[in-house]
Amino acid sequence: MQLKLEHFSIKIGQHKVLLNIVDAKELGVNPGDRVRIRGRESLSAIADTTDDMVPPGTLGVFSEVYEHFVTWDKPVEVVPAFRSKSASVIKKMMDKRPVAQDEIKTLVNDIVEENLSEIELSAFITSSYIHGMTDDEVEWLTRAMIESGDTIEFDTHPIMDKHSIGGVPGNKISLLVVPIIAANGLLIPKTSSRAITGAGGTADLMEVLCPVEFSSQEVKEITEKVGGALVWGGATNIAPADDKLIRVEYPLSIDPYYQMLASIMAKKGAIGADNVVMDIPVGPSTKVPTIQEGQKLARDLINLGHRLGMNVECAITYGSSPIGRKVGPSLEVREALKVLESMEGPNSLIEKSAALAGILLEMGGAAPRDRGKEVALETLRSGKALEKMKQIIEAQGGDPKITSADIQVGQYTADILASADGYVIEFDNKWIIEIARLAGAPNDKGAGVAIHKKMGESVKKGDPILTIYAEKEFKLDTALTTAQRTNPIVVEGMLLKRIPGIYGFQ
C-alpha cells in the first residue's frame, strides 16, 4: 500500500506510526502490530490506529521514524511485517526458559534501535525482575549493552573508575575522589548520571561548575589531557540501552537486580575501566537495607567484573544519614569545594571520600597497600586535589578560578526548629530527598536543604535543625509544608516516656 507521510513533530522514544483504521483494515494490521516502511530506506515500526488523526491514504509518523525519510518527498510503501525476533526471546524469558547469547544481543539491539513497544519492554523488565537471570545471561546482557554504543579505548592504562549504588542524599564524593585520583597520575574518566529520584546526581552537581555534555571522543581527550573528567553519561552514547530501560522502569518503580548489575558494569566496560571501586551504602532507608544484602551485591559485582576482565573491589559504607550536611546541587558543590580549598567540612564527607579514593590508589599502584587513605588525605591537604579539580573544570569549559564563595544558592529559605531539648535519634533519608526535590532540586540548582544536626547530636528547643533553600517562593512553601508534616529529623530527650505505677504517689 502506498501512503503519503505526515510528520508529527514529537519524539516518543520508539519507532511508531499511525494508520487510519480504513488503511489498517485493508492491510490486516491491528494496534501493536509491526509494519515495514519502504522509501529511500526501509525500517520497521509499531503501528497504532486512528479514525481522525490521519485521513485514509496517509501514514502519520513521529520524529524517530520521520528522520529516516526527511529527504523523501514521495509516498512510501507500507506492508505488514513479521513480529520482532525479540518478542519470542522475551516470551522465553517469561516462561523461565534459557536464552542464548545471540538472542540477548538481538534483544539489546532492538532496544537501542527503538524497535520494541513499551509493552514488550515492560514484559522484559518484569520477567527479569520476577524470574532473575543466570550468571551467563547477565554477562551476555552486559557485553551486548557495551557493544550497542560507543566505547573508549585509551592508549595508556590502568583506567580507574568508581560507582555508588546510591540511595544516600548528599553523596557528592566523586567531586573529591576524581581529582584525588587524577592528581596521583592515574586516569579516571567518570561518567555519571543525572538524578532520577534523588536531589542531585553527580552530573547535576558538576554542571554548577562547567558543561558536562561531551561525546565519547571528547571525554577521552579531556581525560588524557588532565587525568580525569566528570561528565554526564547520557550525552556520550555509552551503553544507550540502559537509558531506554530506565525510561520504562521509572513508572513501574522497579529496578531489576540483574539489569542493575549489567547497567553498572556496562558503563564501566564501555570506558575501558581496569580497576573499579563500588560504593555500597547500607541502611534502613537505602537501596541496600542490610550488610548481608550488601555482601551479596558485592560478590555479584566482583564476579561479573571478573568475567569481563575488570578488577572490582567493593566498599560497604554507612548509609543511614546523608554524606555531609548539604543536599542539592549548588549546596553540595559549595560543600565539596570548601573541603578541596581548606579541608574544612564534615568528617563524613572527608572520611568517605578519602577511604574510597584510597582503595583506588592502591588498586592502581599509586599507593602502597593499606596506605591509600593516608595518601588521599595528603593529596587533599596539599592542595593538589584542588589544583587538579581546577584543571578538570577548565578542560570542560568552566571557570577554573571559581571558589566555594562564588556558588549561589536559593534566595528563599525557611528553618525547621527543634520542638524540644534532646538528641537527634532518627533520620529519614527518603524524606530529606523529597523535601529537597519539592524545593526544586535538581533542576533548580540553588534548591536543597542544609542539615544542622545529625544522628546523636544534642539540640536545644528552638534550634534550627534543617534549613530549606529554594529559588521560587511557591516551591519553598510546598517543601516547608511537607517537612513540617513528615518530621524527617526526630529529636527526643533522654527520657522518652514516663509510665506511672499502679497506685501513683499518695
Query: Which residues are tagged catalytic?
Result: 255
**β-strands 188-192, 228-232: how paired?**
parallel
For Cα atoms 381, 384, 386, give the angle at the middle one, nearest 5 degrees: 85
Annotated binding site for AMP: 167, 193-198, 202, 263, 287
What phi and psi values does residue 359 have, to the nearest 5 degrees? -60, -45
The dihedral through the CA atoms of 435, 467, 408, 348 has a sign that is negative
For 94, half-sphere exposure in the C-beta direction (CA atoms, 13 angstrom radius) is 13
Annotated binding site: 167, 193-198, 202, 263, 287
Angstrom distance (rounded) from CA 354 to CA 248? 36
Angstrom distance (rounded) from CA 164 to CA 198? 13
Angstrom distance (rounded) from CA 149 to CA 240? 6
Q: Which amino acid is at 236?
A: T
CB 39 within 8 A of CB 69: yes
The dihedral through the CA atoms of 252, 255, 258, 261 has a sign that is positive
Angstrom distance (rounded) from CA 117 to CA 105? 17
Cell of 360: 583506588
CB 136 within 8 A of CB 259: no
Angstrom distance (rounded) from CA 388 to CA 372? 18
CB 193 within 8 A of CB 148: no
The dihedral through the CA atoms of 84, 86, 89, 93 has a sign that is negative
Cell of 293: 544484602
Angstrom distance (rounded) from CA 151 to CA 154? 10
At 78, which helix (H) or strand (E)?
Answer: strand 76-80
